[in-house]
Structure 1
Amino acid sequence: MALNIVALIVLGVFYILIMGVGILAGRKVKIHGYEKGTMEANMVAGRDLNMCVGIFTMMATTVGGGYINGVAESVATSGLLWTLAPLGIFIGLILGGIIYARRMRDEKYLTMLDPFQLRYGSVVVILIYIASLCGDVFWTASILSALGSSLAVMTGINRPIAVCVSSAITVIYTMIGQMIAVAYTDIVQLILIIIGLGVSLPYIFTNENTGNISNTTCDWLGNIEVKYTGVWIDLLIAMSFGTIPWQAYFQRVLSVKSGRQAQILSVAGAFGALVLVIPSVLIGTVATSADWNSTTLGKNPVKLGQASDVLPYVLQEFTPYIISLLGLGAISAAVMSSMDSSILGSSSMFTHNIYNNIFRKKASLLELQIVQRIAIFILGCMATAISLSVPILYGLFILAADIVFVIVLPQLTCAIFLRRTNNYGSICGYIVGLVLRLGAGEPEFNLSAFIYYPYYETQAGQLFPFRTFAMVCSMITIVIVSELTNLFFNRIVSAQSCDIFGSFDYDIVDQSMQSNHLARPRRKSVDKEELTIL
């Protein structure tokens, strides 16, 4: 495919604009009440993020490359009824705002892992971080891969080059400005998405080759067979509640001035994400009715096995050249807005919760800043390498996202709201959730099932809502094991020797109890002041 010089120039202008905004934001924006460069400023914008900026960055993070590309693909292939991301994310952000956002902000946490560190200790923190890291890295890799395909379609540029350049720019401005740079570049990226996709719609629907979508209603609407009802419900629940336990979400919630603002931010982001997905939905419907025989492709991209490129192909084939370039900018901006959030979130958790609070409690501010920048660079390289080398990114992301829902959500809920839970329950719940989810298999990842849930069929696979079942079992396990271990360590003589994780402190009650080797245990807890917050 020949290089499209004009498209490359336009793309370069977009990238320079985003890079410039990120660098200027990181260097020039003054954060009220905090010296620039503190960890609180780097990770949560000094907790002084303007509400308008906060709403924009929440929407931009949600309306990422996977969201706008994936929704168009899903509508074109499976139908609107099976395109659960918009509804699920809408419900999830509202529930997150009502249930979790205010509590997390009022407690003044720096990252999503802080409540785990306070209640469950280092082992659980590392386990939860691994699950979250998988979700972030695989998500980033999948959207980078989608971006590479889109740029190849519209510019003729080599896919690996497109992925590497986009990744490099995102990593650079994230390293320089961190949260404040990400927030302000998100504004630019969201504006590009709104303009790029919004302006294209009138041209798409007035193009003589797009046809009438009312003639293909059955195709783009889809249908839900009775036997797949459980699967549909399972996916909706997983998508809704699985939207919550991500550091990229909580990083924005924790960056505003109060718990009330955190709630407003989340709810406003929910409505914004629902509105901004409309262009993608409409483009997906057009893909089902368009006359693809009259295009340069000659055939529907879905039938060519290029369903993931439905959106860029519709823009390229059914809009004027200049408009298609604006759409290209929108796709690129959407991917970068998702990527910067993911790598900043994972690097923040690693620096604060793993490096600082486990391995280097006396690390200097300069050392932590260097570590976070190195972490951003490494995570960006990891996601880029995976996107270029692994051919089944969608399956990896689905599996990682399911693990976040099945494992991290119940753990987070218990850490925040159920005070009697402990790290024994947490670890057991982690194992149960992981086994039950992996046991269901993952066809996209060629992972065979070794647990056959009710209604299992060889061809259709798991028809039972196994994700929700695994999540509920994980939470129940956390509660039951925690209660049993609390009972054990409170009633059994010489139980201290069995406390392998050191979860309880033991006070000798009196001399007679001491002679009988009987101690009264007390739950060990970490005071929030002991959690290093710089």
Structure 2
Amino acid sequence: MTVNIPGLVSVVVFYLVVLGTGIWASKKSKKEEKKCTGKESEIAMVGGRNLNIWVSIFTTTATWIGGGFILGNAEVTYLPNKGLLWVIAPIGFALNLIVAALFFVRPVHKRKYVTVMDPFQEKYGDTLTSVLFIPSLLADVFWVACILAALGGTMSVILDIPSHLAVIISAAVAIMYTLLGGLYSVAYTDVIQLFLMLLGLWFCVPFALLSPASADITFTAVNELYQPPWIGRLELRDVGKWLDDLLMLTMGGVCYQALYQRILATATVRQAQITCYAGAAMCIILGVPPILIGAVAASTDWNQTSYGLPTPYEQDKAGSILPIVLQYLCPPFVSIAGIGAIAAAVMSSIDSALLSSSSLFARNIYKNIIRRKKASEREILCVVKVSVLLFGALGTGLAMTTSSVFVFWYLSGDMMYGVVCPQLLAVFFLSSYTNGYGSAVGLVAGVSLRYLMGEPTLRLPPLLILPGCRIEDGVHVQYFPFRTTTMLAALAVILLVSRLASFLFLHGLLPERWDIFGVRRPAITLRDVAPKELPEDSALNSALPFTSLNDAKPDALE
């Protein structure tokens, strides 16, 4: 093994630049903390709610366009049994940000939340929130594992260094600057990282397209040469699975704390919406280069390259197809630019995922539950930093267990869509029809149904087989939209059980001492309360988590 010294030097320089930016941003963070005594933890989590609009756009885009996005799109385009028609991520991520702008920005800004778990804590209390936190944590850890696996595979191909070494070094750098400055460090390093992604990826594309070992991708898009056409096939029987994947990326994404950190870091609702719309456009633009590189890989006679045969797909290296193309079809200086782009993509997402999960734990679990809101701001900041270290270590360990970034990428989104999404929709838009009993049973139902549906990427056979299920490579694959079925079923359970529990307790069919979620709590109507007399954190306001009664006009109470 011969280490690629120029490439290694370029990566070291990039890491030093990112780390330097993080240190500079941490000084800005400390200045803001001095100005806002008593809110130091919010500075770390949501940047003092005054992030520059351009920085907000850059950090939102860079967070969504991570290593999983870039390598995953190239992998799916290259796979003979997938192809371009199955590259759903750019569309799904763009729709995700548009949905967030239309329906979620205003409610969270109105109540000045800090985390996505705040409305759950207001509505259901501490016990249930601590349970609902678990799927969000797992999704973030899977996300960290996904993007670290992407970088490890890339560096092992281009730099000829062990993938586990690349994973450990990259995780250490991201953890270090996230610890230093919280959201400020994350946001300002994202500006540099997004610029490098745009420049590096688009710079590599022409060289890959002009490689003498590759056929014209416009020909191989619809004609079989070295493998089936890379445009792929989408038959009528596949539409359910395609829509299921699209809805998972669209609605699963609105459940991530990383999204709300950026929404809440802006000063106004309008700025947050502009951020989301601009990020949606950038998802489409940055989705093109990896698709083109995947198309080149599908159009390449690998026997004409130093890679030789068997092909990357036959060697089970489809997950690293983008760095393989850069290494074997492009000049050395181009592959170095590509590794910089991928490293930037990875770093821009791992720091966000680490800060996201750490913020949820520090605020909603440690501060509100373990310490019963008695923890000092410095204590909370300390917990954030310890959590960054712990969750970073968990994600780093998982990143070394698979060669495909596609696996963890989908597991993360799947967890959010099937388990967290119905809970989020219920608490945001159906709050008056739900209670803790419905939420708890809905959570169990969502997890149980998802397990019964099986998971082909983990070779977990389905115990509940839906129409259209097929056997592929010895594994049952559900082509019915089973993820969406799980999500809708969990939402229905939340509403039905909430209704049933309310009926049983309010009609005295169950004793009041069993009412742990307070369904029989004395009802307060709008007519009973003058708008200026109700405290902001009152029980009634908590039951309506997106619109404070303090904001109501007197005539609205009539």
Is residue 216 from structure 1 mapped to residue 232 from structure 2 by the alignment?
no
Instruction: Specify whether residues 225 and 490 from structure 1 end up closer, same or farther in structure 2 by C-alpha distance, changes over 3 A only.
Output: same
Query: Per-residue CA shift, 1:270-303, capped at 9, x if unaligned?
Result: 1111111111111111111123222221143223
Residues 115, 415 of structure 1: 8 Å contact kept: yes
| Structure 1 position 400, deviation (Å) | 3.9
Residues 231, 463 of structure 1: 8 Å contact kept: yes
Could you tell me which of 422, 434, 442 is aligned with 2:447? 434
Could you tell me which of 471, 477, 489 is aligned with 1:473? 489
| Structure 1 position 457, deviation (Å) | 3.3
Instruction: Specify whether residues 152 and 491 from structure 1 end up closer, same or farther in structure 2 by C-alpha distance, changes over 3 A only.
Output: same
Which of 462-471 and 480-489 deviates more? 480-489
Residues 440, 449 of structure 1: 8 Å contact kept: yes
Code of the residue aligned with 1:342 in structure 2: it is: A
Distance 2:489 2:539 in 1: 24
Aligned to 1:418: 430
Query: Per-residue CA shift, 1:92-142, capped at 9, x if unaligned?
Result: 111111011221122110001001001011232122211011111012112
Distance 2:237 2:230 in 1: 20
Distance 2:280 2:492 in 1: 29
| Structure 1 position 389, deviation (Å) | 4.2
Aligned to 2:211: 207
Residues 59, 272 of structure 1: 8 Å contact kept: yes
RMSD: 2.2
Instruction: Specify whether residues 466 and 397 from structure 1 end up closer, same or farther in structure 2 by C-alpha distance, changes over 3 A only.
Output: same
Structure 2: give runs of 5+ residues left out of the alignment.
223-228, 524-537, 547-558
| Structure 1 position 416, deviation (Å) | 1.4
Residues 68, 280 of structure 1: 8 Å contact kept: yes
| Structure 1 position 320, deviation (Å) | 2.1
Code of the residue aligned with 2:102 in structure 1: it is: I
| Structure 1 position 177, deviation (Å) | 0.6
Residues 240, 479 of structure 2: 8 Å contact kept: yes
Aligned residue for 2:521, secondary structure, equals: strand
Could you tell me which of 336, 342, 348 is aligned with 1:331? 342
Identity of aligned residues (%): 39
Code of the residue aligned with 2:53 in structure 1: it is: M
Aligned to 2:66: 64
Is residue 44 from structure 1 mapped to residue 46 from structure 2 by the alignment?
yes
Aligned to 1:2: 2
Which of 477-486 and 144-153 deviates more? 477-486
| Structure 1 position 304, deviation (Å) | 2.3
Residues 503, 524 of structure 1: 8 Å contact kept: no
Residues 140, 383 of structure 1: 8 Å contact kept: yes
Residues 506, 520 of structure 2: 8 Å contact kept: no
Instruction: Specify whether residues 524 and 435 from structure 1 end up closer, same or farther in structure 2 by C-alpha distance, changes over 3 A only.
Output: farther
Code of the residue aligned with 1:326 in structure 2: it is: A
Distance 1:12 1:181 in 2: 19
Distance 1:372 1:461 in 2: 40
The normalised TM-score by structure 1 is: 0.92
Residues 72, 281 of structure 1: 8 Å contact kept: yes
Aligned to 1:251: 261
Aligned to 2:247: 237
Distance 1:86 1:310 in 2: 18
Which of 386-395 and 111-120 deviates more? 386-395
Is residue 91 from structure 1 mapped to residue 95 from structure 2 by the alignment?
yes
Could you tell me which of 349, 352, 357 is aligned with 2:368? 357
Residues 504, 524 of structure 1: 8 Å contact kept: no
Which of 441-450 and 16-25 deviates more? 441-450
Distance 1:36 1:287 in 2: 54
Is residue 488 from structure 1 mapped to residue 504 from structure 2 by the alignment?
yes
Which of 346-355 and 242-251 deviates more? 242-251
Residues 16-415 of structure 1: pairs in structure 2 closer than 5 A? 16-28=16-28, 30-31=31-32, 34=36, 38-77=40-79, 78-218=82-222, 219-299=229-309, 300-360=311-371, 361-389=373-401, 394-415=406-427
Instruction: Specify whether residues 503 and 345 from structure 1 end up closer, same or farther in structure 2 by C-alpha distance, changes over 3 A only.
Output: farther
Could you tell me which of 447, 463, 469 is aligned with 1:456? 469
Code of the residue aligned with 2:414 in structure 1: it is: D
Query: Per-residue CA shift, 1:148-205, capped at 9, x if unaligned?
Result: 1110111111221111000000000001111010000011111111111111122222
Instruction: Specify whether residues 35 and 198 from structure 1 end up closer, same or farther in structure 2 by C-alpha distance, changes over 3 A only.
Output: farther
Aligned to 1:519: none
| Structure 1 position 524, deviation (Å) | 7.6
Which of 233-242 and 482-491 deviates more? 482-491
Report the count of equivalent residues: 516
Distance 1:525 1:94 in 2: 28
Query: Per-residue CA shift, 1:403-439, capped at 9, x if unaligned?
Result: 2101211111111122221111111111111111111
Structure 1: give runs of 5+ residues left out of the alignment.
508-521, 530-534
Instruction: Specify whether residues 191 and 307 from structure 1 end up closer, same or farther in structure 2 by C-alpha distance, changes over 3 A only.
Output: same
Aligned residue for 1:232, secondary structure, equals: helix
Distance 2:307 2:402 in 1: 26
Residues 85, 239 of structure 1: 8 Å contact kept: yes
Residues 435, 517 of structure 2: 8 Å contact kept: no
Distance 1:328 1:504 in 2: 60
Code of the residue aligned with 2:61 in structure 1: it is: M
Aligned residue for 1:157, secondary structure, equals: coil
Residues 138, 393 of structure 1: 8 Å contact kept: no
| Structure 1 position 258, deviation (Å) | 1.3
Aligned to 2:526: none
Instruction: Specify whether residues 525 and 495 from structure 1 end up closer, same or farther in structure 2 by C-alpha distance, changes over 3 A only.
Output: farther
Residues 27, 181 of structure 2: 8 Å contact kept: yes
Distance 1:296 1:340 in 2: 36
The normalised TM-score by structure 2 is: 0.88
Distance 1:85 1:372 in 2: 30
| Structure 1 position 37, deviation (Å) | 7.1
Residues 144, 335 of structure 1: 8 Å contact kept: yes
Distance 1:329 1:458 in 2: 40
Query: Per-residue CA shift, 1:454-507, capped at 9, x if unaligned?
Result: 233344521211111111111111112212222222221673122134454359
Distance 1:497 1:389 in 2: 48
Distance 2:381 2:366 in 1: 11
| Structure 1 position 211, deviation (Å) | 2.2
Residues 513-532 of structure 1: pairs in structure 2 closer than 5 A? 526=542
Instruction: Specify whether residues 257 and 504 from structure 1 end up closer, same or farther in structure 2 by C-alpha distance, changes over 3 A only.
Output: farther
Residues 46, 264 of structure 2: 8 Å contact kept: yes
Distance 1:405 1:280 in 2: 25
Aligned residue for 1:243, secondary structure, equals: helix
